[in-house]
Chain A
Amino acid sequence: MSSMTGGEMNNQRTSVWRITLLIVVSALFMLPLVLMLLASLKPAEQLTGDPYSLLPERVVWSNYQQALEAIPYLKYLANSIVLCVGSVVGTVVSCSLVAYGFARLRWRGRKAMFAVLIATMLLPWHVTMIPRFVLFSELGLYNQLAAIILPTFLGDAFYIFMLRQFFMSIPEELSEAARLDGLSEFGIYWRIIVPLSKPALVTVAMFQLVVSWNDFSSPLLYLSDQEKFPLAYGLEQFVSSYSDQTHLLMAASVMFTLPMVFLFFVAQKSFTRGITMTGSK
């Protein structure tokens, strides 16, 4: 150690400082989640009697079972899964087809239509919400999960834009060769572009999965029958009736959050890639 130069010692000191700061900030960011987890395991009387205590007096796993029954979690979960699967399929199918049309085909009006696509991204949902609601109600979609799933089959400007960028980076020669071999446009899309774009399609699927799982406003708007509520909406309904049952609320929130945390760990790469893609033009 005695042979260390002043510069190296300085470097080492900065790096200790930096790691300390990183640990403190990480702890601060994780603290709310840790408190949620701890509260979900506390006995009810501890949360009201001694609200500032950190650790559970005794670990009450049965909070989870109680929350499962009280919400009712499993019924809402089934609805959430239907919404997520339907919306992810709708989004990936429609957006990849439309993106192919914009990225790989030349047709009159393409540029103008693409400008319209971008313009729709700038329109706040407030403007279209009420007529959409009226239209969907008249189509008999009110109180149907289909009211939330069907629109995903009509494409989403943001994902179409993302996939178009990705499709454009695939060499045009591949398509030309396939056309000479007599493949139809749909054949090129299905056999060449889709297999080569798996990472981008997975990213879009993951994004939409998170959006559908979290979506609160569409169920609030379209669903009235408790039998059809997804978790995001069912959980909020639970807040007003169980506001004094913090232990159950936290147990339910943990069970609602965990799948997303799990998803993030499984698909961290495609998330990170997708998010950084939105920032670079």
Chain B
Amino acid sequence: MLKVDNIHTYYGNIQALKGISLDVEQGEIITLIGANGAGKSTTLMSISGVETPRSGSIIFDGQDITHKSSHEIVSMGVCQVPEGRHIFPQLTITENLDMGAYLRNDKDEVKKDLEYVMDLFPILAKRRHQSGGTLSGGEQQMLAISRALMARPRLLLLDEPSLGLAPLIVQQIFEIITRVNQEQGTTIFLVEQNANMALKIAHRGYVLQNGMIVKTDKASALMEDQEVRDAYLGV
């Protein structure tokens, strides 16, 4: 479904990605784990078209999206929940969710999806008229994921959904991610520092180090891998 082939992405003169290749199959949960600054967010931003790789290619559904602008990529069904959640602070919860469906014209279906995400995260229904900036970190993460779901993505990119959240909330959010994958068939590409949680729900995983993929395997195999255990699982 998604094929990233040898991309190099720079910030000015600093090379953040040094030839990343990976692929994601329909219906999978794929995780990309790595330390701070390894290039995880840059990988997602390159896929979403916010950053443009200097070389290499990104193919989605057989179409080259390497140089497409981000709104075109969203319209093809690739949506991202960026690191730090990026809630529109002065819009209400409902307005934030509406923004997620910005490109859609099928009002009735949007309404159904609104009910669906409110059902996934009942707290959002309770606070629907509050502005986004007043939510707690966990609620903002729930809103950010819901907003992305409002676009009915075929491929959902999640950037560190566990960042800065209490373990119980992280648990809840990861359960929802699995549920969305199973119920809606949404393909999920999950970037995480919390390798433990990520590998538990993922089918396959990639390990990123200094802008390069150093390892890839089934998630269960990565969990058993000695190097991965030492470096990322803290056991």
Whether chain B is bound by chain A comes out as no
Query: Which residues of chain B have a CB within 8 Å of any CB of chain A?
Result: none
